[in-house]
Structure 1
Amino acid sequence: MTDTSSPSHAHPVRSGIATGTNFAAAALLFIVGIISLLQGISAVANDDLFVVGVNYVYEFDVTTWGWIHIALGVVGLAIAIGMMMAATWARIAAILIAALSIIANFLWLPHYPLWSILIIALDVIVIWAVATWDAED
């Protein structure tokens, strides 16, 4: 009698869904990385592009925030490429970088709320997709 619970005998539909979920999470992380990279480049290139609101506790110069977003974007792109290659390290790193991106964009809210809300929403979806993907399938 064969054991159908082993990964080598996984159901093809489940395997397809798992692969699709991993690829979708990688694609979303790639998009978040591009958006963060463009947002950071815009902040570094031209400080007048962003609407700067009232001062708040976590105040940085807009150029500093730009470099933070550039770094998050580049790391996010690298992790997304790792996820597309099905690297195990990329799953853990994707959750970590998405969480850091959520924190950075929450602190960036007073400067540019629409971009921040968009990126936070995409990061939450990335965390959900990576955390619910079952590597055994």
Structure 2
Amino acid sequence: MSRTERSQQPVSGWAVGGITFAATMLVIIGIFHMITGLAAIINDEFFIRVRGYTFDLDTTAWGWIHLVLGILLLVVAFGLYSRATWAGVSALFLVVLSAVDNFFFIPYYPWWSLLLIGLDIWVIWALTRPGAIRT
């Protein structure tokens, strides 16, 4: 089947619903990252520092990482709403990065990080369904 034949086939309602779900979840995850980032930037003492943690980053640095990642996730989410292929690929990359970022952030805020990792996995599932991202 050629590329033009594939692009002319109708997209299933499930795939469109999955993309809309993923985009909406990315907006929520992006806002959560921005809230976490701003909390760490504004009040450096908000998160408790764990002694002896291998990845001992300053909480302000974590804040900037979360804030930038949150903004990027919002941009990609709005790209997904427009069904742009670049947004689907970028969303997969950023949501994996978000999960890894939250894994390293577990000692600072465990339940919040685990919640975001779960949401990230849910978005990965929605984006990798057949027909979700069309090339």
Q: TM-score, normalised by structure 2?
A: 0.88
Letter in 2 for 1:29: L
Corresponding position of 2:66? 69
In 1, Cα distance between the equivalents of 2:44 and 2:50? 13
**Among candidates 31, 39, 43, match of residue 40 of structure 2:** 43
Corresponding position of 2:109? 112
In 2, Cα distance between the equivalents of 1:110 and 1:7? 46
In 2, Cα distance between the equivalents of 1:23 and 1:119? 18
State the secondary structure of the residue aligned to 1:94. helix
1:21–1:133 contact (8 Å) kept in structure 2: no
Unaligned runs of at least 5 residues, structure 1: none
Change (3 A) 1:40 1:9: closer
2:25 pairs with 1:28: yes
> Structure 1 segments of 4 or more deviating over 6 A?
none
Same amino acid, percent of matched pairs: 39
Corresponding position of 1:97? 94
Corresponding position of 2:77? 80
Q: Which moved more, 1:50-59 or 1:19-28?
A: 50-59
Change (3 A) 1:46 1:18: same
Q: What is the CA deviation profile of residues 3-60 of structure 1, one whole-angstrom value per residue up to 9, with x for unaligned ones?
A: xx966454xxx62221111000000111100000110000000022112222211110
Corresponding position of 1:56? 53
In 1, Cα distance between the equivalents of 2:21 and 2:75? 15
Unaligned runs of at least 5 residues, structure 2: none
Q: Which moved more, 1:24-33 or 1:47-56?
A: 47-56
Report the aligned-residue RMSD: 1.7
In 2, Cα distance between the equivalents of 1:40 and 1:64? 9
Corresponding position of 1:17? 14
Q: What is the CA deviation profile of residues 79-131 of structure 1, one whole-angstrom value per residue up to 9, with x for unaligned ones?
A: 00000010000111011000111111101111011110111000001111101
When Rg is computed on C-alpha atoms for both structures, the one with the higher figure is 1
Q: TM-score, normalised by structure 1?
A: 0.87
